[in-house]
Structure 1
Amino acid sequence: MDEQPTRHPVRTLLRTLDHAVFRRVGERSWPMAEPVLPRLSRSANHGLLWGGVAVGMWALGGTRGRRAAVRGVASLALVSATVNTLGKGAVRRKRPVLDAVPVVRHLPRQPVTSSFPSGHAASAVAFTVGVALESRGWGAALAPVAASVAFSRIYTGVHYPSDVLVGSALGVGAAFAVRGLVPSRAQLPPPARPRTDAPALPDGDGLYVVVNPSSGAQPQLMDSVRQLKSELPRAEIIVHEEGGGPLPKVISDAAREAARRGGALGVCGGDGTINAAVAPALQFQVPLVVLPSGTFNHFAADLGTETVAAACAAVANGSAVRVDVGRITPLAARSAEPTCFLNTFSLGSYPDLIRLREHWSPKIGDPAATLLGVAKILHTAHPLKAVVNGRRRAMWLLFAGNGAYRNLGIAPVRRHDLTDGLLDVRIAHGGRFARTRLLATVLAGGVARTRLYAAAHSRQLLISGLPEGARMAYDGEVVEAPTAFQVDKLQEALTVYRPLEERPRARPMSG
């Protein structure tokens, strides 16, 4: 946008209107705005305000809040790169003259970059719209803050209204561009099929729920139990306490009683607790109720049961689906029982990371413990050697997901179908400088194009030649791995309650 006079009548009119609105904002008195808007404007410098909001959402917002925070940060990063590299470089517009703006509103340090477009407005809108595309509640809560940040740029005299409008439009575009690359959950088809019969238990009669207090934050767990009692008052709730016997036995006893009464087995906890219920549910042929209340609830999220209320509604209506179950079967000891998993199985560095995170987490918290674990593994770990499907390999990581995952780079994100019969296999190979090369490639987003990383879909893995003491992880649990075993799937083996899908309304046919 050129500040020089132009003969084009439309441009002249828009420029005149832009300046007129700017002067009107500067001349008008805005009660309660002076102590708030300049500080709010400064707090949004370099995205610090939105970074803090994202951290809070991650800590307090549950599964949906964490997804919304990630989507908001990704949208902000995209629009920041666009504005700073293309927008401000392509259009060099001088900042407004501050004569019409009271001195009390001036920022302590005036920006010197191009006025067009407004980076603050772009970041505020990108983050908020990105959040809203994943969680309308969080988006509605942040909308007034984003609008205030955008308006503060005019109020403090550092941007013209058109700068803010165009920046806001770029923010909206960035949020929708991110959604195009990584669809929100509302866009994706139901992740579990086919639907199947399960007993409808309107008041919870016949439902036995085992609660694992050690699987997550106590306040969240107690809220889940209170909500369960309110929604399904006749359900039997069994709280597993230390000294009350092993958790698998408690769950097995509950499954036996549920089968005797023609009811269902429920578990309240994280992925590890849910995993402990799979074998009893299969053994006694009872449907499973997943009540997400643990530290991680990946299976519940992929299933589409993200709240206790949703799970209770599914039980009351008898709404259920069938899902695949991953299976790890030792080959050396024929009598050994298979181990089931609903999410993922892995060998190599990931089990070590889980072990280190659990060791340090009580002292420094999960995020710091994870970073410290990654740093230690990168410094000290060695590739694991094993024979995979008849071929000897040196691997940093072998990952097998129960179903094909959508992913960003090397990180699995979400499954579209929990009954596809496939294992999502990924291997990070060893080799000369493999650790450094793989890390650099992952950070650059190019894992699909390197020989250090392989991905494929399979129905079976045969793994042998593992050294004694090697560890494996499944659904967040870490145990010693057999020296030889098979990984495959039981297709549509488990019945799980799941809320009814919201089907789109049919559009009327045009005449």
Structure 2
Amino acid sequence: MQKARALGSLDRAVFLTVAARHWPGGDRVLPRLSRSADHGLLWFGLAAGAAVVGGRPARRAALRGAASLAVASATVNTIGKRSVRRLRPVLDTVPLVRRLSRQPFTTSFPSGHSASAVAFATGVALENRAWGLALAPLAASVCFSRVYTGVHYPGDVLAGAALGAGAAFAVRGVAPTRAQLAPPARPRADAPALPGGEGLVVVANAGSGQRTVTWTDPAQVVRSALPGAEVLMCGRDGAEPLEKVLETAASRARERGGALGVFGGDGTVNAAAAVARRYGLPLAVLPGGTYNHFAYDLGIESVADACRAVEAGEAVAVDMVRVEGPGEENRFLNTFSIGAYPELVRVRERWARRIGAWPAGVLAAVHVLRTARPLRLDVNGRPRRVWLLFAGNCAYRGLGLAPVRRHDLADGVLDVRLVSGDRLAGARLLLAALTGGLKHSPVLRTSRVRKLRVGGVAPGTHLAYDGEIAEAPAELTLRKENEALVVYRLPTDW
């Protein structure tokens, strides 16, 4: 009891010291900052901004931060405030200019604002340490503002901060970070270690990704990380076509006993993979597109990651899928689809350069849900009416139509998901998703196969593979090619 009283006395003494002291600039900044964090608006605004303008790592960090904030806020309001009914500080010693225009009416312990601030910053830090450290001063300022404006004792703030950090770690326990879910060991493959990029010939596609005013020349990005690498540009005015540049690069890389590199998005990577396979070269994937699905599934999220893998000579073998049609043959590394998704990609690409990839994707999805019509196809010899046919190169995690990530890029299977085009299929699929029964919905059929035959395709139907749109032939076959390509990736213990 005496210790509790001593801590309470110390808490009030620190509060009075803060109230009595003059803090230059604090009167203008801290009350506004405190109000901006009401109901988590400051943090949800940062999360929304990251989701709109950032890439996948930024969206993942923002989602983790927002989830951590939600857990912390719920815990404070349902347990924390009711367990210790501490009265708010008396404001007599707090200068009027610091006080909030609207005083909170809930109990003082713990500080909900502090819990939310620390939960968001910690959640982001668990996903990306550098971004979390960048947010730390802002989170600390919000915490301090609660004492500065007289609405909390320092002990309330410390308790809220501890609760917020705990919430972030609790979320990580339920939804592990990407670093915790390192892909299992895939078949190791021989690839040369190229210190400084010596022997690496990189094709950089200047047309990949969504460019902004802060866009940096990809050649400069590659050369700054790997000064010994040779960089060939394509995708801009006056440059040669991608296919010709890839052939030139592969020929030079083979002469130098090195490797082929590619800086670009999934479509560019797919084209480079076919050339690397034909020349018998290992492929270094430097993420430079909008989505970079293949690079992320390799565990490579930045050019720096790819450069470390190239210099270490760490490589694995991955599967490819051959698409056979009348008189033509293509390959893909990620996904194939026919039906609603190719139309979604077409609409998204039309709008992406105007409003950004993520908002364009949302608008495209709304458009497709309104206008898409089922197709009649023969799937492995059986006639079907389908809304969408999806095939992934290797098994994807995630239920239903939301494949998230592959943990093995050499498992030898096609991940096939078919959405029936029966009456009210869209409504039934949505209902199954909302009730948690998507996995068992009769509208959705899933299978794991090595070969998929699709026939009876109507003229003018489009297909998509690795984000590229093409007109579908009347018949086609998808076949797995096991461990067909050698690619660099970070060691699992990095």
Q: Normalising by the residue count of structure 1, what TM-score does the alignment of the two structures yield? A: 0.86
Q: Is 1:76 matched with 2:73?
A: no
* 1:55 CA drift (Å): 4.0
Q: Is 1:228 matched with 2:222?
A: yes
Q: Is 1:271 matched with 2:263?
A: no
Tell me which moved more, 375-384 or 163-172.
Answer: 163-172
Alignment partners' CA distance in 2, 1:195 and 1:326 = 20
1:102 to 81, 95, 103: 95
1:157-196, aligned counterparts within 5 Å?
157-190=150-183, 193-196=186-189
Query: Contact (CA 8 Å) 1:394, 1:429: kept in 2 or not?
Result: yes
Matched residue, 1:198:
191
1:351-370, aligned counterparts within 5 Å?
351-370=342-361
Structure 1: give runs of 5+ residues left out of the alignment.
Answer: 1-7, 504-511
Alignment partners' CA distance in 1, 2:392 and 2:461 = 20
* 1:19 CA drift (Å): 4.5
Matched residue, 1:452:
443
1:436 to 423, 427, 431: 427
Task: Give SS of 1:165's match.
Answer: helix
Structure 2: give runs of 5+ residues left out of the alignment.
Answer: none
Alignment partners' CA distance in 2, 1:101 and 1:444 = 51
Q: Is 1:257 matched with 2:260?
A: no
2:328 to 317, 336, 339: 336
Counterparts in 2 of 1:286 and 1:135: CA distance versus 1, 3 Å: same
Alignment partners' CA distance in 1, 2:227 and 2:17 = 61
* 1:285 CA drift (Å): 1.0
Matched residue, 2:480:
489
Alignment partners' CA distance in 2, 1:429 and 1:16 = 68
Task: Give SS of 2:453's match.
Answer: strand
Tell me the alpha carbon deviations over residues 123-176 of structure 1, each in whole angstroms, 9 at most, x when there is no partner: 211111111011110111111111111222222222344433333233223222
Q: How many residues align?
A: 492
Alignment partners' CA distance in 1, 2:490 and 2:328 = 36
1:65 to 58, 66, 79: 58
Matched residue, 2:110:
117
Tell me the alpha carbon deviations over residues 174-223 of structure 1, each in whole angstroms, 9 at most, x when there is no partner: 22232223221221234562221112333444332211111123777645
Matched residue, 1:320:
315
Counterparts in 2 of 1:188 and 1:363: CA distance versus 1, 3 Å: closer
Query: Contact (CA 8 Å) 2:201, 2:259: kept in 1 or not?
Result: yes
1:144-155, aligned counterparts within 5 Å?
144-155=137-148
Alignment partners' CA distance in 2, 1:501 and 1:150 = 38
Q: What is the one-letter code of the residue matched to 2:258?
A: G
Matched residue, 1:207:
200
Query: Contact (CA 8 Å) 2:53, 2:356: kept in 1 or not?
Result: no
Counterparts in 2 of 1:111 and 1:461: CA distance versus 1, 3 Å: farther
Q: Is 1:476 matched with 2:470?
A: no
Matched residue, 1:286:
281
Alignment partners' CA distance in 1, 2:104 and 2:437 = 36
Query: Contact (CA 8 Å) 1:258, 1:264: kept in 2 or not?
Result: yes
Q: What is the one-letter code of the residue matched to 1:185?
A: R
Query: Contact (CA 8 Å) 1:191, 1:418: kept in 2 or not?
Result: no
Q: Is 1:380 matched with 2:371?
A: yes
Tell me which moved more, 233-242 or 52-61.
Answer: 52-61
Task: Give SS of 2:304's match.
Answer: helix
Tell me which moved more, 233-242 or 434-443.
Answer: 434-443
Query: Contact (CA 8 Å) 1:191, 1:303: kept in 2 or not?
Result: no
Counterparts in 2 of 1:181 and 1:402: CA distance versus 1, 3 Å: farther
Q: What is the one-letter code of the residue matched to 2:462?
A: R
Alignment partners' CA distance in 1, 2:370 and 2:168 = 37
Matched residue, 2:300:
305
Query: Contact (CA 8 Å) 1:26, 1:101: kept in 2 or not?
Result: yes
Matched residue, 2:411:
420
Counterparts in 2 of 1:220 and 1:226: CA distance versus 1, 3 Å: farther
Query: Contact (CA 8 Å) 2:458, 2:474: kept in 1 or not?
Result: yes
Query: Contact (CA 8 Å) 1:327, 1:340: kept in 2 or not?
Result: yes
Counterparts in 2 of 1:371 and 1:85: CA distance versus 1, 3 Å: farther
Alignment partners' CA distance in 2, 1:26 and 1:434 = 63
Matched residue, 1:509:
none
* 1:436 CA drift (Å): 3.2
Q: What is the one-letter code of the residue matched to 1:147?
A: A
Task: Give SS of 1:493's match.
Answer: strand
1:31-46, aligned counterparts within 5 Å?
31-46=24-39
* 1:60 CA drift (Å): 6.1
Alignment partners' CA distance in 2, 1:221 and 1:284 = 32
Alignment partners' CA distance in 2, 1:397 and 1:192 = 32
Counterparts in 2 of 1:12 and 1:432: CA distance versus 1, 3 Å: farther
Task: Give SS of 1:415's match.
Answer: coil
* 1:247 CA drift (Å): 1.7
Alignment partners' CA distance in 2, 1:171 and 1:357 = 38
Alignment partners' CA distance in 2, 1:62 and 1:372 = 18
* 1:408 CA drift (Å): 6.9
Alignment partners' CA distance in 2, 1:496 and 1:437 = 41
Q: What is the one-letter code of the residue matched to 1:272?
A: G
Q: Normalising by the residue count of structure 2, what TM-score does the alignment of the two structures yield? A: 0.89
Counterparts in 2 of 1:153 and 1:273: CA distance versus 1, 3 Å: same
Query: What is the percent sequence identity of the aligned residues?
Result: 58
Q: What is the one-letter code of the residue matched to 2:394?
A: G
Alignment partners' CA distance in 2, 1:394 and 1:88 = 55
Query: Contact (CA 8 Å) 1:461, 1:488: kept in 2 or not?
Result: yes
Q: Is 1:404 matched with 2:399?
A: no
Query: Contact (CA 8 Å) 1:348, 1:396: kept in 2 or not?
Result: yes
